[in-house]
Amino acid sequence: MSKAVKLDKTNFDSEIASGVTLVDFWAEWCTPCKMIEPVLDEISEEMAGKVKIGKLNTDEDPELASKYKVQSIPNMVIFKDGQEVGRVIGAQPKANIEEEIKKYI
């Protein structure tokens, strides 16, 4: 079970409103998305209190994926206080994801 917050159109704006949040745009059929899930769980534990990890299923909420111009997945968008500040595209190594997050915390 993922340690990330499940996001959808009902809670997306409130969950990203304050602090640093990494939103993983993913889909059930996406193998690279499944490969990075344990990495994101580790980051969630190790950076608890500094960053929130959220997951948004692009098949269930295509309008949010479209709003943030997600054209390929996995696509991790970093928000700070509700504003997009960074992005990590593709199944990247843990160090790359952490490096991008640390720019904003």
3-state SS track over 35-97: HHHHHHHHHHHHCCCCEEEEEEECCCCHHHHHHCCCCCCCEEEEEECCEEEEEEECCCCHHHH
User: Averaged over 16-32, what is the pLDDT?
Assistant: 97
Catalytic residue among 4, 7, 30, 51: 30
Q: Is 18 a catalytic residue?
A: no
Question: In this predicted structure, what is the pLDDT of residue 1?
Answer: 47
Mean pLDDT, rounded, for 81-88:
97
Mean pLDDT value of segment 23-45? 96
Calculate mean pLDDT across residues 91-100.
97
Number of domains in the chain: 1
Asked whether the predicted pLDDT for residue 38 surpasses 90, the reply is yes
- Annotated catalytic residue, options 7, 16, 23, 33: 33
With contact defined as beta carbons under 8 Å apart, do 44 and 98 qualify?
no
30 is catalytic: yes
Asked whether residue 85 carries a pLDDT value surpassing 70, the answer given is yes
Confidence of residue 3 (pLDDT cuts 50, 70, 90): confident
Expressed as residue numbers, the domain containing 93 is 5-102
What local confidence, expressed as pLDDT, does residue 2 receive?
58
**In the predicted model, what is the mean pLDDT of residues 23-47?**
96
Give residue-wise pLDDT tens across range 51-71.
Answer: 999 999 999 999 999 999 999
CATH number of the domain that 26 lies in?
3.40.30.10
